[in-house]
């Protein structure tokens, strides 16, 4: 939604880390190196049918994700960076929409972890720890050619200074890379997700797209006109040749835009339909969200419009969407959707139930529509059309075409698109200024995924008031139980650590370097450690080694010359790594706050004695 004022500030900078929010959509990581296409038919024959189907599904996920990733590498190698980012996004989404518990399969988990790490390194290359495409190829079995890996490595070597003016730079990467560091150019040319309206405002239909004079087109026109007059789509509208012209556009050069929109609509359309229905707005009008943002909560326009429904600050405030140092509710899922429905209903009432004029008003403001109606002499969109801003003239027929395609995708050549599954999450109220790191650890997730589920949050903590946040589905009760017994939920120097059966406060103290008294004070009423426990962070202790966040940065080199860092290999335990480098497993376990049999993720950095380290 965009209003036209006498002056509008342009050139706004946003650094929302668009890919990362999508990339960490699950906070876990899948992999499937265990299952290969080389399984003998004899092995499969001896397995239950359900097991065979599960393995086939895992192979399919791997193959599909690999296809998009390698396509992204090809686009990146040919300097098509925007297309590369879309392909990398889709590679990750293949895992997220699979419906498989990726945590339960070691192969899936390791491949997904490696994919996330690799793309992260490509988008934020530091030079110290470049993306390792060969390792990804090995873990996932994707057969990435050496020349492709070398070409991509060369492309990502160009260092540029990070945008120090952006308040969102560190948030975009989970706060793990300070803005002062030298970041490579990565594969993304933009640090935010542009609103599709920016392109729509400049769109000029070709002669071929405007050709709707064929007998087939005339027949199509009559079919649509009849459906519109009969309110077959939940509301009536006046059919016009421009609607058909946009149908032509989407069946041609706009096909990719429509495919992405139909796919992403699955995340939010169920929620949008419900809220629009509750507010008395035709459910199909909710497809306006596809034209506004392509269903991307982090979309921003040049006119400072934000979120799924592209509210500018003034109109957002008018409909109760707060914008503070802590939250920007224009980017909230439910709140912004309800505000959008209420604004559309207000506009429809203003124009006597005419939804075309309501949509026009949503785009350019009721003041512009009122003036156009006065000049036309009648409250009719097509009569007022010549007097409306150019973008609005494109906007309304575009939405009508989108609604027609969405309701009959097979008819218009989009029957192959399977919408993404509905985005599922739990909502719970947490105390003021709760640290997202704690919520992430309590929900077995990541800060990045929580930021995706709560795009309205502007920092890595909740506002200084009790606040409702979204957490992964099925995790609400567990998070509530943990936070209720904690006294340090708003303390940045507190982490959660998983405990094992039989552990005592003394063993945890030995692992973390935190005194027993401090541990018990952070967990009042807990005589023996159970589940996840609060651990205060003190400089020099090993608390970070006991958390289970994904390691994403190499960190500073150890200052102690007697220590060296070694990266774990896929499937290694502390014992295996120690034996590989010729060190004592007990000593290595103690140095890293781990057990001798602790299993390590591929790439995890482990401290070992420098005198024996060898690889």
Burial of 143 from C-beta contacts in 10 A (0-12 / 13-18 / 19+): exposed
**How is residue 25 annotated by DSSP?**
S
Burial of 129 from C-beta contacts in 10 A (0-12 / 13-18 / 19+): middle
366 is catalytic: no
Q: How many CB atoms lie within 10 A of CB 218?
A: 12
Number of helical H runs and strand E runs in the chain: 28, 10
Residue in 132, 124, 260 with CA at minimum distance from that of residue 191 = 124
CA 417 to centroid of chain Cα atoms: 20
Dist. CA 44–CA 119, nearest whole Å: 34
Token digits for 265?
């609509």
Dist. CA 176–CA 191, nearest whole Å: 17
CB 443 within 8 A of CB 478: yes
Dist. CA 520–CA 536, nearest whole Å: 10
Give the angle subtended at the CA of 552 by the CAs of 580 and 73, to the nearest 5°: 95
**How is residue 573 annotated by DSSP?**
B
**How is residue 161 annotated by DSSP?**
E
CB 185 within 8 A of CB 79: no
Q: How many residues does the chain have?
A: 615
> For 47-86, b where at least 16 C-beta lie within 10 A, e where not — what string?
eeeeeeeebeebbebbebbbebbbbbbbbbeeeebebbbb
* Bridging pattern class, strands 425-430 and 605-609: unpaired
Token digits for 105?
């399969």
Non-local (6+) Cβ contacts of 488 within 8 A are 494, 522, 534, 536
Q: How many CB atoms lie within 10 A of CB 546?
A: 22
Instruction: Write down the residue that tokens 């290359």 correspond to.
Output: 125
19 Ramachandran zone, left/alpha/beta (phi>0; psi -120 to 50): alpha
Dist. CA 86–CA 69, nearest whole Å: 10
**E-assigned strands of 380-506?**
425-430, 467-472, 494-498
Token digits for 278?
């509750």
Dist. CA 292–CA 300, nearest whole Å: 10
Dist. CA 187–CA 123, nearest whole Å: 6
Burial of 43 from C-beta contacts in 10 A (0-12 / 13-18 / 19+): exposed
Residue in 383, 115, 150, 402 with CA at minimum distance from that of residue 259 = 402
Annotated catalytic residue: which of 292, 356, 366, 572? 292
Non-local (6+) Cβ contacts of 274 within 8 A are none
- Which residues belong to the active site? 292
């Amino acid at each position: 939604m965009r209003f036209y004022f006498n002056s509008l500030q342009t050139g706004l900078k946003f650094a929302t880390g668009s890919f990362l929010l999508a990339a960490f959509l699950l906070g876990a990581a899948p992999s499937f190196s265990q299952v290969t296409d080389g399984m003998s038919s004899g092995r499969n024959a001896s397995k239950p049918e359900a097991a065979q189907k599960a393995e086939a599904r895992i192979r399919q996920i791997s193959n599909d994700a690999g296809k998009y990733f390698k396509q992204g590498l090809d686009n990146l190698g040919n300097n098509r960076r925007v297309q590369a980012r879309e392909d990398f996004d889709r590679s990750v989404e293949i895992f997220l929409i699979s419906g498989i518990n990726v945590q339960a399969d070691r192969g899936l988990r390791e491949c997904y972890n490696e994919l996330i790490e690799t793309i992260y390194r490509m988008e934020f290359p530091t030079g110290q720890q470049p993306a390792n495409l060969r390792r990804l190829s090995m873990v996932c079995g994707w057969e990435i050619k050496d020349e492709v890996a070398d070409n991509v490595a060369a492309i990502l070597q160009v260092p540029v200074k990070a945008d120090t003016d952006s308040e969102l730079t560190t948030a975009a990467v989970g706060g793990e890379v300070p803005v002062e560091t030298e970041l490579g150019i990565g594969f993304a040319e933009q640090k935010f997700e542009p609103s599709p309206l920016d392109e729509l405002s400049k769109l000029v239909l070709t002669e071929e797209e405007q050709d709707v004079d064929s007998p087939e087109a005339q027949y199509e026109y009559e079919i649509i006109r009849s459906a519109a007059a009969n309110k077959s789509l939940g509301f009536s509208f006046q059919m016009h040749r421009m609607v058909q012209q946009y149908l032509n556009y989407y069946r041609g050069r706009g096909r990719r835009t429509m495919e992405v929109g139909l796919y992403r609509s699955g995340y939010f359309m169920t929620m949008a339909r419900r809220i629009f229905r509750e507010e008395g707005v035709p459910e199909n009008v909710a497809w306006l969200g596809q034209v506004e943002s392509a269903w991307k909560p982090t979309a921003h326009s040049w006119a400072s419009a934000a979120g799924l429904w592209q509210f500018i600050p003034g109109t957002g405030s008018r409909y109760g969407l707060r914008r503070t140092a802590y939250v920007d509710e224009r980017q909230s899922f439910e709140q912004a959707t309800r505000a959008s429905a209420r604004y559309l209903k207000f506009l429809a009432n203003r124009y006597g139930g005419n939804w075309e004029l309501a949509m026009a008003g949503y785009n350019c403001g009721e003041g512009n529509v009122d003036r156009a109606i006065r000049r036309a002499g009648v409250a009719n969109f097509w009569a007022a059309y010549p007097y409306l801003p150019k973008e609005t003239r494109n906007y309304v027929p575009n939405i009508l075409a989108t609604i027609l395609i969405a309701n009959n995708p097979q008819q218009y050549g989009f029957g192959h698109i399977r919408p993404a599954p509905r985005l599922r999450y739990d909502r719970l109220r947490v105390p003021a200024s709760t640290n997202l790191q704690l919520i992430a650890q309590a929900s077995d997730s990541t800060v990045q995924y929580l930021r995706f589920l709560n795009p309205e949050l502007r920092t890595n903590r909740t506002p200084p008031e009790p606040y409702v946040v979204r957490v992964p589905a099925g995790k609400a009760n567990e998070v509530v139980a943990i936070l209720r017994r904690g006294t340090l939920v708003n303390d940045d120097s507190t982490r959660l650590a998983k405990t094992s059966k039989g552990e005592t406060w003394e063993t945890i103290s030995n692992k973390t370097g935190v005194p027993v008294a401090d541990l018990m004070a952070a967990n009042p009423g807990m005589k023996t450690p159970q589940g996840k426990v609060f651990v205060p962070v003190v400089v020099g202790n090993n608390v970070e080694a006991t958390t289970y966040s994904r390691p994403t940065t190499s960190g500073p080199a150890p200052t102690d010359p007697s220590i060296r860092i070694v990266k774990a290999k896929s499937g290694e335990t502390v014992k295996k790594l120690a034996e590989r480098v010729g060190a004592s497993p007990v000593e290595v376990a103690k140095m890293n706050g781990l057990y001798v049999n602790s299993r390590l993720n591929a790439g995890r950095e482990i401290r070992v004695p420098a005198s024996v380290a060898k690889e």
